[in-house]
Amino acid sequence: MIAEGFASVMLDPFVILLIAIGVVVGIIFGSIPGLTATMAVVMFLPVTYTMTSTQGISMLVALYIGGISGGLISAILLNIPGTPSSVATCFDGRPMAEKGEAGKALGTGVIFSFIGTVLGVLILIVISPVLASVALKFGPFEYCALAIFSLSLVITLTGKDMVKGLISAVLGALLATVGLAPIDSKPRFTFGIVNLTAGFKLLVLLIGLFAITEVVKYAEGVRKPENFTIEGNVKIKGVGFSLKEFIRGIPNAIRSTLIGVGIGILPGIGGGVSCMISYTVAKNTSKHPEKFGTGIMDGVIASETANNATIGGAMIPLLSLGIPGDAVTAMLLGGLMVHNVSPGPLIFQKSGSVVYGVFFSMLIAAVFMCVFMLLGMRGFIRVLNIPKNYLLPIIVVLCCVGAIGDSNRLFDVWGVLIFGIMGYALIKAKIPLSPMILGFILGPTFESNVRKVSQLISRDSVFSHPIFCVFILVTAVVVVISLRSNKREREALSKEKQ
């Protein structure tokens, strides 16, 4: 069966071609703010209906891998995450680029995206059934605890000014309440506007907060002369960093892979959260946490390894349980079922060759992604040479196109505009924006699960849920540690001032 799967991919030049096309299109979609991996898959899904199962699924996973990886380009070069999964890449990627290390940042991102993808896929191949049973153990109690744990990371993410970080996270959670409530489907904050019943899309919020604000920020300084050429003239040797730096990053990469796969397995959380959790864990365990955010490789490694490892993780429940973990895998599920491949416990017996074909396709796609991105790197950096007064308006247009493309509503463009203005006001108030994304994603997870728990709690005790208890304990420990380290940072800062 393995040989059959291998042959169906490797011996069919058309499949290889489709994978290459998928990766390139994915990278383009991922790198353009506003267009995401999800959209690339949506666009190509109907095209695959008429292909064979191996061809179709191979192309879709290639789009997925390309799309998630491409996001790092605009995150590093423009400080605008190309996809939700690259939010944390901005934290250190952009400062690196500002220091003139754009090439190094890109090289790091690409290589560790590759490592994250491959390790994630290997975990998927080797222990998928075991991990799938872990996903089943996660009921409402466990999700509740996971959401609390993830939200507690906001404290680390925001560092010195915790209150402002919390304001941002709460604002994100509040925005997520617009629309139909979980459980009872009652409309909230919709003011009778039918478009609001579907709530705001993560993509719309992301574009508004990161892309529009970046453009407005630039417009602010438009009268000051700027030298466009300095940033762009970056010389890259090889992949941009040394072997020694690579070896130093390996423990970080392994940890980030595990976090990425772990988050990927749990349906409904996704790459946007995994990169941020991985980033904060890397910061917390680092010997020099104060350097995070100033432009160090570790930050880029943590974010990019984790978000790509999430791909392998998300494929685990998809293939062995038939449960999609995010928007992309939900569409992959449709793509599989159309080809009469029914994910579930019997998938290896019934469609083994297709599944192994998918595994090989993912590995090939990872290699293509790495090669194309490294080759393209020098070209990507030239983007910085384009005068911003030409570049940024184009980006705004693409963002709006992306916002419409998500669910074909002009309404979402208004959302982008409003969130852009809101984001700019928040930046002026020195409120960090990334906790808002965490709040926006995890708020609904927490709410719907806490409401489910309330339906169960009458005959179910929290103490019969060990995973729940462990998460709550870990959260308590993390909160105490972060509070103490934040306090130390503050004290050190005030001493310096004196």
Is residue 285 near another protein by the rule CB under 8 A? Answer: no
- Span near another protein by CB under 8 A; candidates 21-29, 121-129, 296-304, 343-351: 343-351
Among 24, 45, 433, 438, binds another protein (CB under 8 A): 45
How far apart are CB 271 and another protein at their closest, in Å? 18
Tokens 């191996």, residue located: 54
Among 30, 67, 71, 324, binds another protein (CB under 8 A): 324
How far apart are CB 358 and another protein at their closest, in Å? 16
- Span near another protein by CB under 8 A; candidates 82-90, 170-178, 402-410, 433-441: 402-410
Report whether 445 contacts 179 (CB < 8 A). Answer: no
Report whether 390 contacts 383 (CB < 8 A). Answer: no
**Burial (CB count within 10 angstroms: exposed 0-12, middle 13-18, buried 19+), residue 406:** buried
Among 4, 14, 49, 221, binds another protein (CB under 8 A): 49
- Span near another protein by CB under 8 A; candidates 14-22, 256-264, 279-287, 401-409: 401-409
Encoded amino acid at 134, one letter: V
Report whether 308 contacts 260 (CB < 8 A). Answer: yes
x/- contact string, 417-456, with another protein (CB under 8 A)?
A: -------------------------------x--xx--xx
Nearer to another protein, 114 or 143 (CB): 143
Tokens 């390996």, residue located: 250
x/- contact string, 222-261, with another protein (CB under 8 A)?
A: ----------------------------------------
Nearer to another protein, 182 or 376 (CB): 182
Q: Where on the phi/psi map is residue 186: left (φ > 0), alpha (ψ -120 to 50), or beta?
A: beta
In sequence order, what are the beta bridge partners of 188?
Answer: 179
Closest CA to 69 of 346, 444, 370: 370
Report whether 39 contacts 70 (CB < 8 A). Answer: no
Nearer to another protein, 180 or 417 (CB): 180
Nearer to another protein, 256 or 445 (CB): 445
Is residue 376 near another protein by the rule CB under 8 A? Answer: no
- Span near another protein by CB under 8 A; candidates 40-48, 111-119, 230-238, 253-261: 40-48
Among 345, 462, 477, 487, binds another protein (CB under 8 A): 345
Per DSSP (E only), the strands in 266-316 are none
- Span near another protein by CB under 8 A; candidates 158-166, 168-176, 180-188, 487-495: 180-188
Among 1, 2, 10, 198, binds another protein (CB under 8 A): 198
Q: Measured between alpha carbons, how far is 144 from 446 in angstroms, rounded to an integer?
A: 5
Encoded amino acid at 243, one letter: L
Report whether 276 contacts 84 (CB < 8 A). Answer: no
Among 233, 242, 340, 385, binds another protein (CB under 8 A): 340
Among 297, 331, 384, 442, binds another protein (CB under 8 A): 331
* Count of residues touching another protein (by CB under 8 A): 50
Is residue 206 near another protein by the rule CB under 8 A? Answer: no
- Extract the tokens encoding 445: 């997870």
Is residue 330 near another protein by the rule CB under 8 A? Answer: yes
Nearer to another protein, 118 or 311 (CB): 311
Is residue 157 near another protein by the rule CB under 8 A? Answer: no
The DSSP result for 199-251, as a single string, is ---HHHHHIIIIIIHHHHHHHHTTTS---SHHHH-----TTSS-HHHHHHHHH
How far apart are CB 331 and another protein at their closest, in Å? 4
Q: Measured between alpha carbons, how far is 22 from 57 in angstroms, rounded to an integer?
A: 11
Closest CA to 271 of 394, 135, 128, 116: 116
Nearer to another protein, 140 or 435 (CB): 140
SS3 187: strand
Is residue 59 near another protein by the rule CB under 8 A? Answer: no
Among 11, 229, 287, 408, binds another protein (CB under 8 A): 408
- Reduced DSSP (H G I as helix, E B as strand, rest coil) percent helix, strand, coil of the chain, to 5: 80, 0, 20
Is residue 461 near another protein by the rule CB under 8 A? Answer: no
Nearer to another protein, 32 or 347 (CB): 347
- Span near another protein by CB under 8 A; candidates 12-20, 72-80, 322-330, 366-374: 322-330
Q: Measured between alpha carbons, how far is 353 from 164 in angstroms, rounded to an integer?
A: 52
Q: Measured between alpha carbons, how far is 346 from 349 in angstroms, rounded to an integer?
A: 5
- Extract the tokens encoding 157: 């993410």
Is residue 343 near another protein by the rule CB under 8 A? Answer: yes
Is residue 197 near another protein by the rule CB under 8 A? Answer: yes
Residue 239 main-chain phi, psi, to 5 deg: -95, 5
Entry field: residues in the chain: 498
Q: Where on the phi/psi map is residue 266: left (φ > 0), alpha (ψ -120 to 50), or beta?
A: beta
Encoded amino acid at 476, one letter: A
Among 52, 177, 286, 407, binds another protein (CB under 8 A): 407
Rg of the chain taking only CA atoms, in angstroms: 22
The number of beta carbons lying within 10 Å of the beta carbon of residue 40 is: 26
Among 2, 254, 338, 479, binds another protein (CB under 8 A): 338
Query: What is the contact surface with another protein in residues (CB under 8 A)?
Result: 42, 45-46, 49, 135-140, 179-180, 182-185, 194-195, 197-198, 267, 317, 321-324, 330-335, 337-338, 340, 342-347, 407-409, 448, 451-452, 455-456, 459
